[in-house]
Amino acid sequence: METPKYTMCHKCGGNLSARQSPLYCCGCMSSWIRGFEDVLPMPEAIDHQIEACESRLRLFIRQGREESRLSEVRKEITRLTEAK
C-alpha cells in the first residue's frame, strides 16, 4: 500500500490535502494548490510544519509579539513533535 502524501502550502506550511491528519491546515486566504508545492509523506510533512512553526516563532520574537501568541506557536510545535 502506498504511503499517503500531503500537499504543503509554500507560504504557511499548512496542509492543503483533503485528508484528515495531525497536520494543521493552510491558513492563507487563497488555500489553493498551484502545482509547485511540496508533496510529502506524513513524517516529512510533520518535520516541514515544525520548521515552519519555528520560523514563525523566530519572526514573532523579532517583532516583539505578546507572550500569549508565542505560547500558541510553542504549543503547536509540541503537538506536532508528539505526533511524530
Query: Which is higher by pLDDT, 31 or 52?
Result: 52
Please indicate, yes or no, whether the overall pTM of this predicted structure exceeds 0.95. Answer: no
Residue 79, beta-bridge partner list: none
**Whether the predicted pLDDT of 30 surpasses 90:** no
Cβ atoms within 10 Å, residue 17? 20
CA 48, 54, 57, 59 dihedral sign is negative
Average pLDDT, integer, range 42-47: 93
What cell was used for 26?
A: 493552510
Average pLDDT over residues 42-66: 96
DSSP the chain: -PPPEEEE-TTT--B-SSS--SSPBP-SSS----S-SEEEEHHHHHHHHHHHHHHHHHHHHHHT--HHHHHHHHHHHHHHHHH-
The pLDDT-based confidence of 3 (bands split at 50, 70, 90) is confident
